[in-house]
Every structure is written in C-alpha cells, then in structure tokens.
Amino acid sequence: MKYNPSDKIQDLQYFGEFGGVNPSISDSSTYTFLSAKTMFDTFEGNAEGCYLYSRHSSPSNLYLGEALAAMEATEAATVTASGMGAITPVILQLCDAGDHMISSRTIYGGTYAFMKNFLPKLNIATSFVNITKLEEVEAAITPKTKVIFCETVSNPLLEIANLPALAKLAKKYNLQLVVDNTFSPLSITPKELGADITIHSLTKFINGSSDTVGGVICGSLEFINQLRNVNDGACMLLGATMDSFRSASILKNLRTLHIRMHKHSENAMYLAEKFQELGLKTVYPGLENHPGHKIFKQMMNDEYGFGGMLTIDVGSLEKANTLMELMQEKNLGYLAVSLGFYKTLFSAPGTSTSSEIPEEEQAEMGLSEGLIRFSIGLDNHIDRTFERMKECMQEVGIL
Ligand code: PLP
C-alpha cells in the first residue's frame, strides 16, 4: 500500500501537561537544570528529553517537527521561522565555497534570488535548468555539483518535476536531491519517490490560515542533527527559529490539512475545466493536456488531488490587473500573494512573487505578463464562484 501521509499524522498522539487535548506550549526561551552536569550534557546534545534554550529546540517545535516528519515519511524534521529560513540553511549546509548546484529555473522568486545573487558571494554557483528535461539536468552536472534543487510543482508555472527520475540521477552522481514540496503537501511524498530532503514553506497550505510564516526541513536524522549542531549547524547558527506559539498553532491547523487539500483540489479541478471550456489558456496539473499530468498521476497519493494552484493567461498585464481588481471587488478572492488560504488568492507573478527574475529570463521560461496565478479557496459552491468569475471576465473583455 502507498504511504498515507495524513494517516501518519493522525496516528500521532500528544497530550498537554494537565491532560489537555493539545500539547502544552513551552512559553520559555530558557530552561533550568538541577545539576550543572546535565546542563553541559544537554548543550552537547547528550541529554535526551532535556531542553536548554529555545533556539536549539523546544517541546512545541519538536511536536510539530515530528508530525511533519511523519507526513513526509522522513526520519526527522526541524521547523524554521519561514520557508526561506528552511531553504537557505539546507543549501548552506550541503554546499561549501567552490561547490556548485543545479536548480530548476522555475522556482519561487525568493529562492531564485538567493541562488542567483546571494550564493555567488560565498563562491557557490548555480546552474538553472529546465527541470523537465532530464538530459539538460544531467549535462549541467560537474565534479563540483552537490545538490539538485527543484519544486515538485513549480511556482508559478506549475511545471512538474519527475522526482523518481531526478532521484536516480542524483544517486548516480552522488548528489542530494532537495525538493520544495510547498505546492503539493499530502498529494506528493518526495521521500517515497527518492528525494533526500523535503522542504515546505508552512506559510502556505500546511498552516492554511495566512496568519504566520513558517518552514520545515524533513530528512534523515543524521542531516537534521547536522543542521542543529551547536558548532557548525546552519539552522542553529543562522538562527531562523520558529516561535513556540506559532508551532502550536500550525500543529492544530495541520490536523485538518487532508480535508482542506481535498477541497482545494476539487475546487481547482472544477475551475480549471470550466476555464478551459471557455477557451482560456489554463494550466493545471489535473488537466490531461498538462505536460506533467501523467507523471503527477504516477507520483501522487490519489485522494488529495492535483492541488489548489492554477494559472490562466489573459494576454496582457493591464487585463490581468483589471480582472483581479474586479474579482476582488466582487468578493471572489483577494488580490494578494501567497497561497493556501480559505479564500481564493490571485496575483500576477511577473510583477510580484517572481519579479526577482529578470524580464528576459521570465520571457524565456514562458512567464508571460498576462499570467494570473490562482490559489483556489475552499468555497462551498464553486459553481457559483465560477459563474461570477465568468461575469467579471466578460465585463473586462477577456471572454
Ligand atoms: N517555496 C515556495 C514554493 C514558495 O512559494 C515560497 C513563498 O512564496 C517559499 C518557498 C518561501 O516561503 P516563506 O515566504 O515562508 O519564506
């Protein structure tokens, strides 16, 4: 039987200090010791069950990490203050000065900017490739390559990475396959498909309430311990620690992720089919004409669907902006970046979340001006939403 991530989360049981149905929140940055020797041992990481200082670890962060490791089928996980706070230490832990990495060219703009503009300061080079072309990925590998990085479903173009094939390539050349699974929680379990490290921005679907930023790194216990090492661990030393109150609230929201993902996917599939019927240029991995549809289907845990993200191309930035403003006015969603909220969110990535990518490179990768990225919400009657969206499109002259 295929790995079932939400069953694994459900099987974990935690109680609060006084028998509460939710674990107690550790509202402390530092912890006392009865013996100085135990304090020393804890600092060295040799006193199981003891806490020293909340940047190192806290009970709340460990509970959330454990649940996310169960979800991603990895031995361990560590939570971080944001998605970027997860991506950056992983790369810095895996690559030394002089090393090289390969990344999909269609990734979140912040990740792209980190690789393109920041890593060269540390003499770490990145080759950006079309991740759907395996021969291009293989050709970019050099003796200095350490990492292949991709998003399972890419932001914003929704390209699908063939994770089993990339994992095979990574194994062949002894590289680490690092996968950002932010757009496809539950639907895809990268570790089960051969990935070494799985990352999420918890800010998105996993938390689902657009009230906090957060991130997680899921991997082997050995790697997670390396990240947390007091002497040379990138998570420990760069310090992007999640606050315990936030971990506690994200853990509560994680309990409903399977229901939410199911609904996000169902609503997105409905709209994608309807948009396509209207003749709009629609991209959604659930559509049979999506180039990555087959591979997504082979990789997916069926019951959670193809996810909540879709794009349409309305031809020009002006039309995209007018449509988004009108849809917001009609209360069909918010003109906002980010994703995974109960309400539909839409933005034009070329001028927002991918604006770090230079215009000529945007054009080369097919990121056109008129592209609108939708994170489809949990609307109870998506047919009613569709009719209203259609009216907006007619009013703007797109239909
Ligand atoms: N990865 C993906 C795919 C994203 O879309 C984002 C943010 O939009 C991030 C990572 C960064 O996450 P955060 O904003 O939580 O730092």
Instruction: Tell me the per-residue pLDDT of 119-148, one tens digit each, with 9 for 90 and over.
Output: 999 999 999 999 999 999 999 999 999 999
Residues touching ligand 1 (Cβ under 6 Å) are 82-84, 108, 110-111, 151, 155, 180, 182-183, 201, 203, 213, 215, 353
What pLDDT, on the 0 to 100 scale, is given for residue 1?
Answer: 65
Options 3.90.1150.10, 3.40.710.10, 3.40.367.20, 3.20.20.140; CATH for 258-396 is: 3.90.1150.10
What pLDDT, on the 0 to 100 scale, is given for residue 350?
Answer: 86
Q: How far apart are the first and last CA of the chain?
A: 45
CA 182/CA 173 separation, integer angstroms: 26
Q: 344-395: per-residue pLDDT in tens?
A: 999 999 888 888 888 888 988 889 999 999 999 999 999 999 999 999 999 9
Arithmetic mean of pLDDT, 69-97? 98
pLDDT at position 96 over 90? yes
User: Where do the structural domains in the chain lie, given as residue ranges?
Assistant: 5-254, 258-396
Place of tokens 């970019």: 140
SS3 track for 275-298:
HHHCCCEEECCCCCCCCCHHHHHH
CA 77/CA 185 separation, integer angstroms: 15
CA 185/CA 145 separation, integer angstroms: 28
CA 340/CA 185 separation, integer angstroms: 10
Q: 6-59: per-residue pLDDT in tens?
A: 999 999 999 999 999 999 999 999 999 999 999 998 888 777 888 999 999 999
Place of tokens 């050709």: 139
For ligand 1, atom 15, the nearest C-alpha belongs to 83
Which residue type does 298 have? Answer: Q
What pLDDT, on the 0 to 100 scale, is given for residue 258?
Answer: 98
Arithmetic mean of pLDDT, 91-118? 97
What pLDDT, on the 0 to 100 scale, is given for residue 378?
Answer: 98
Place of tokens 């944001």: 82
Overall CATH class of domain 5-254: alpha beta
Arithmetic mean of pLDDT, 169-178? 98
**What separation in Å is there between the alpha carbon of 208 and the centre of ligand 1?**
13
Provide the mean pLDDT of the chain: 96
For ligand 1, atom 2, the nearest C-alpha belongs to 108
DSSP state letters, 95-107 = --TT-EEEEESSS
For ligand 1, atom 8, the nearest C-alpha belongs to 338
What phi, psi does 230 have (nearest 5°)?
-70, -20
Q: What would the two tokens of residue 251 be?
A: 């853990």
Q: What is the DSSP code (8-state) at residue 241?
A: B
pTM of structure: 0.97
Give the CA angle between residues 397, 398, 399 to the nearest 5°: 90
